[in-house]
Amino acid sequence: MARSASARGIQRGGDRATEFRAPTWWDVHQDRVVGFLMFLPLVTLIVGLTVYPITRVLTTSVYQQSLYSQVAEYVGVRNFVTVLQSEAFVRSVRNTLVFTFGGLAIQMVVGLLIALLVHAKFPLRAPVRGAMLFSYLVPYVVAALTWRFMMSDATGILNYLIRTSGLGIPASWFGSPDYAMLGVILVNAWKNFPFMVLVFLAQLQSIDTQLYEAGAVDGTTRWGAFRYITFPSLLPIILVVGMLRTIWNFNNFEVVFLLTQGGPLGRTETLPLLIYRFIFGEFSMGRGAALAVIVFLILVVMSLIYWRLYERAQGKFE
Amino acid sequence: MHTFGRRAKLERVALAIVALVTLFIVLFPLIWMLLASFKPNVELFQRPPRMLPQDFTWEHYVELFRFTSFPLYFLNTVMVAIFACILGITVSLLGVYSITRFKFIGAKPFTFAMLFIYMLPPILLAIPFFQIWFNLGMNNSLVALSITYLTITLPFSLWILRPYIESIPRSLEEAGMIDGCTRFKAFVLVILPQAVPGVMAAFVFTFVVVWNELLYALVLISDESKRTVSLGIASLILETSVYSWGLVNAAGVVATVPILILFAFVGRMMVAGLGAGAVKG
């Protein structure tokens, strides 16, 4: 296909060379115009799909509007005041922080340990690496389904094991005020730790093996090699994925919604769940949008902090 | 480095055992779901629970495909995902190509701003999309849902395709253009064939993400016949008490299998791409 096109091209080029006409505006700018036309759909869609909706959220946040109504009344910052003063807000900020950073810590540690494990050489390494990622690939509904099933009263295997273990803890975690949060954090960690494995593994593979060889010559122990070679080279990436994961945990809606729907007694109600409840439970578009704006501002601040940390870490180790 | 002594060999076997045990623990919830989907109802309520089905049955799958709307949910999800992925990839391909080859004012900050979309809570975008589609009378529309999914497929495919397109040497298309191809023709005939692996990776990746998506479907779709697979399963497990766990598990298996098949198909490529992309970022 390519060959016939270039053959035709040569022929046409030949024609043009014999004409000797002055180049028109189109001849000169054609290339850039085509380039711009190729860029245009992307810009249009991005503006339509993000910029416009975001401005829409901002305007909605200063109006009072019911879910299924077109009528909107301007109320200024009243939505923000109502949201910030509500008891549910303080509670869900606390819940979100516990959910986000509790989950982050577990995912980091498990992800790092498993990355180190599958970085080592052993038989069957390739299929083990691949299968280790399965939980990251399955839909959230499937993750929620199987954990709910394992925890369910009449049929759950975990439920049965906890019941018969004699530990005296609730056998059905997602319904227990004290264990529901731990439950949702663990399921979120199970679902998302492979992302950490992927990233850490890629970084481990990029470490120059000569560093370890030099270390071995100097008689470094395994711990020493980890402490002085592996860990420092992972640190910048730990901060980057730490930032990404913090944001994703912070924004996560599915895990909690599918496992506890924010209950029991609001013990697992995180900010995205509260936004959802304002809109689809209390039919208040304005309050939902106001809280969404607040959440967004919190996220911006958090990612700025991480960014500073990242820059500092890079300066230190490079 | 490479000593194949007894000790090293033993260590490798020990590592393999540790790795396999870890893998079993990690995959246990999925294995348990798979096994439960083949157990008759009596066995699901058996105490103590047994690992393997005693009386293997396909009845839950038969029920799922014959007496529920899941086949329809499948069709819905496949259509929505294919539309959103193909449109997203086409637009990103054109866009990435022109960003890497021309110097437009603002193109660089623009692509940087794309990363910013990753930071937006999906629930934040769900609010205006609900309003927009509701005002247009297009809530419960699968077309509206697929267009909404472009907010996911566009940034993802842009992210995946960029390194691929950037790495294609300019001399290739320049050669084509000297031969008389126009810019667009050079793009189609020279660049596209080179970008095929990137397009495949982008397709699989965005397909998986859309297949797994729940929130937008939950917000935009209330009509039962328009549900996606995720929404279908969500409505099953959100019932106050689930009695048909066999059916639910079968639905879970059926929702997972296409993802794992796609992953096996381009797995290595995807792992490499994902890891590299994240490290570079």
Cβ partners under 8 Å of residue B275, min gap 6: A198, A199, A201, A202
pLDDT at B177 over 70: yes
Q: For residues A298-315, b (16+ Cβ closer than 10 Å) or e, as one string?
A: ebeebbeebeebbeebee
What is the structure's pLDDT at B115?
Answer: 67
**Domains of chain A, CATH where assigned:** 81-317 (1.10.3720.10)
Mean pLDDT of chain B: 86
Which residue in A80, A211, A50, A37 sits closest to B121, CA to CA? A50
Task: Inspect the interface and report whether the beta carbons of B22 and A46 lie closer than 8 Å.
Answer: no
Q: What is the pLDDT of residues A74-114, one digit of tens each?
A: 888 889 999 999 989 999 999 999 999 999 999 999 999 99
Closest chain A residue to B176, measured at CA: A6
CA distance B223 to B138: 12
CA distance B262 to B267: 8
For residues A298 and A251, is the Cβ–Cβ distance under 8 A? Answer: no
Contacts of B260 in chain A (CB under 8 A): 134, 137
For residues A187 and A143, is the Cβ–Cβ distance under 8 A? Answer: yes
Among the ranges given (A184-198, A297-311, B89-103), the one the predictor scored with the smallest mean pLDDT: A297-311
Locus of tokens 């401005």:
A55
Read off the pLDDT band of A225 (50, 70, 90): confident
pLDDT at A318 over 90: no
pLDDT at B89 over 80: yes
For residues B225 and B215, is the Cβ–Cβ distance under 8 A? Answer: no
For residues B201 and B266, is the Cβ–Cβ distance under 8 A? Answer: yes
pLDDT at B148 over 70: yes
Which residue in A313, A318, A275 sits closest to A295, CA to CA? A275
Q: For residues A88-117, b (16+ Cβ closer than 10 Å) or e, as one string?
A: bbebbbebbebbbebbbebbbebbbebbbb
Other C-beta atoms within 10 Å of B276: how many? 15
CA distance A168 to A254: 30
Domain boundaries, chain B: 6-59, 63-280
Helix locations, chain B, DSSP H: 6-36, 41-44, 59-67, 70-101, 107-117, 122-135, 142-167, 170-178, 183-186, 192-212, 215-220, 229-237, 245-280
pTM value is 0.87
* pLDDT: which is higher, A315 or B129: B129
CA distance B159 to B174: 25
Q: Considering only residues 239 to 278 of chain B, which have any Cβ-Cβ distance to chain A shorter than 8 Å?
A: 242, 245, 248-249, 251-252, 255-256, 259-260, 263-264, 267, 271, 274-276, 278
Spell out where chain A has E strands: 63-65, 72-74
> What number is the average pLDDT over the span B64-89?
95
pLDDT at B241 over 80: no
> What number is the average pLDDT over the span A260-278?
92
> What number is the average pLDDT over the span B242-255?
90
Other C-beta atoms within 10 Å of A202: how many? 20
Q: How far does CA B95 lie from the centroid of its chain?
A: 22
Cβ partners under 8 Å of residue A260, min gap 6: A174, A175, A180, A183, A184, A267, A268
Cβ partners under 8 Å of residue B9, min gap 6: none
Contacts of A154 in chain B (CB under 8 A): 45
* pLDDT: which is higher, A113 or A46: A113
What is the structure's pLDDT at A205?
Answer: 87
Task: Inspect the interface and report whether the beta carbons of B122 and A253 lie closer than 8 Å.
Answer: yes
Q: What is the pLDDT of residues B9-57, one digit of tens each?
A: 888 899 999 999 999 999 999 999 999 999 998 888 888 888 899 999 9
> What number is the average pLDDT over the span A18-30?
76
Q: Does B110 lie at the interface with A, CB-CB under 8 angstroms?
A: yes
Q: Does A56 lie at the interface with B, CB-CB under 8 angstroms?
A: yes
Task: Inspect the interface and report whether the beta carbons of A303 and B119 lie closer than 8 Å.
Answer: yes
What are the respective helix, strand and coil percentages of chain A, to the nearest 5? Answer: 75, 5, 20
The CATH fold of domain B63-280: MetI-like fold (1.10.3720)
